[in-house]
Structure formats: structure tokens, C-alpha cells
């Protein structure tokens, strides 16, 4: 079996499209329960979900044009 450092070295020698394929295959091989989620991320998700409580469905989303403007505006 190859050592991680050898695999890493070989992977970096692959063409870009093959490295991308490898990343996708590795990502797809993960089971959700194997992916650690830090407490701060769990807390943030809970806060964001709580902020949606009591809102009407149309208040929970943003129309595409408004989202597009926000995403592609020069303002940061």
C-alpha cells in the first residue's frame, strides 16, 4: 500500500481534469457522519434556522433578481 505522501505526490502529477475527478470521487466516498462539523458551525446553522421561525414562505426567500443583484454588485 502506498504511503499518503506518495499518493499526494502522484496525484499532483496528474493532469488538472484527472485531479478534479479524483477530488470528486474522494468527496463522494465520504459518509455524512464522517464529516466533522465544528460546534460554531452547528450554532450558526441553528441561529439561522431559528431566524426563519414565524416567517411566511414568501419571506423566507429572495427573488432571483434581488439575489443576483446582491451577488454580482460591486459593493462588498
With a CB cutoff of 8 Å and minimum separation 6, the contacts of 67 are none
| 60 contacts: CB under 8 Å, gap ≥ 6 | 52
User: DSSP secondary-structure letter at 52?
Assistant: H
Of 18-27, 41-50, 67-76, least confident by mean pLDDT is: 67-76
| Per-residue pLDDT tens over the stretch 54-75 | 888 888 888 999 999 999 987 6
Amino acid at each position: 500500500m502506498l504511503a499518503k505522501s506518495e499518493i499526494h505526490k502522484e496525484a499532483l502529477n496528474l493532469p488538472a481534469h484527472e485531479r478534479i475527478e479524483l477530488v470528486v470521487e474522494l468527496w463522494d466516498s465520504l459518509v455524512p457522519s464522517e464529516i466533522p462539523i465544528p460546534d460554531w458551525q452547528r450554532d450558526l446553522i441553528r441561529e439561522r434556522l431559528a431566524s426563519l421561525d414565524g416567517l411566511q414562505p414568501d419571506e423566507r426567500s429572495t427573488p432571483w433578481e434581488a439575489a443576483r443583484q446582491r451577488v454580482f454588485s460591486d459593493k462588498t
